[in-house]
Amino acid sequence: MLFEDRSRAESFGASAERYDRARPSYPPELIEALLADGAQKVLDVGCGTGIASTMFAARGCAVLAVEVDERMAELARVKGLEVEVARFEQWSPGARRFDLVASAQAWHWIDPRAGAARAAEALRRGGLLGLFWNFGQPHPSVREPLARIYARLEPGIERYSVLLGNRDTRTQATLAGIAESAELGPPATASFHWKKSYETARWLEHLSTHSDHQALAAPNREQLLAAVGDAIDAIGGSFEMSYEAVLVSARRL
């Protein structure tokens, strides 16, 4: 389970500013779906630098964020967000209750069973738990040359990277954790499709914010990124990435 690898789970703060620049946002339709029943009080779990939190705040929500890394939290605070630093499994809402508990690209770093229990504690009755991820779906003209590079240099990443069309086990573990909670209703899933264009330098910066790339020894990482950069340059120096944003949601009973 990814959440058990704490060195990776808590590695993002070392490149917080790069993360904030390079990580993609989320489709507005997904945010609107989460707020469709009029949610006003939002808890954002694993907010990072506040990419999703600011989308909720821009729609008039009162947002409280929880983030494990102080360096990431500080960048979120610069955006005007209120952030409490803690591992979510150990954080307590006290008497506070929320209409929506959301987590963007972060729930796989949280114990899915303990996380579901803590989210249920933080939600009002009828409130919504909404957990979502961007999964890359590169065109074969991009995926195939990159897959060959990863298979040659770092096959462990190639088999599991969510940027190369893989899903790994994060949504399955999330669904299982919700299903075990007596305080959450049956989970539902929905997908939102969108696209983003990348030039070579921006894609390499994006890759370097992912924990599987950060965990590589520096020479290995540099060799991999150089090869990926050459491959993108060979197809014109840019490409359009298709993303599927997958939302897993459940109601507090």
- Residue 8 has a pLDDT of 60
82: domain CATH number is: 3.40.50.150
- Assigned domain for 212 exists: no
- Assigned domain for 65 exists: yes
- Assigned domain for 213 exists: no
- Over residues 51-57, mean pLDDT: 98
- Where residue 15 falls among pLDDT bands split at 50, 70, 90? confident
- Residue 87 has a pLDDT of 96
- Where residue 64 falls among pLDDT bands split at 50, 70, 90? very high
- Assigned domain for 43 exists: yes
Position 171: which residue type?
Answer: T
> 160-193 pLDDT, tens per residue?
677 777 766 678 899 999 999 999 999 999 999 9
Determine the structural domain holding residue 95 and report its residue range. 2-137+165-196+244-251
- Where residue 16 falls among pLDDT bands split at 50, 70, 90? confident
- Residue 4 has a pLDDT of 54
Rg (CA), the chain: 18
Percent of the chain with pLDDT over 70: 92
Is the confidence at residue 131, as pLDDT, over 80? yes
- Assigned domain for 210 exists: no
- Residue 170 has a pLDDT of 77
- Assigned domain for 234 exists: no
Is the confidence at residue 110, as pLDDT, over 70? yes
Task: Extract long-range pairs of 80-84: CB within 8 Å, 24+ residues apart.
Answer: 81/47, 81/50, 81/53, 81/54, 81/57, 83/47, 83/50
- Assigned domain for 187 exists: yes
As for how many domains the chain has, the answer is: 1
- Assigned domain for 185 exists: yes
Cα separation, 93 vs 79, whole angstroms: 22
What value, to the nearest 5°, has the Cα angle with vertex 192 and ends 127 and 100? 15
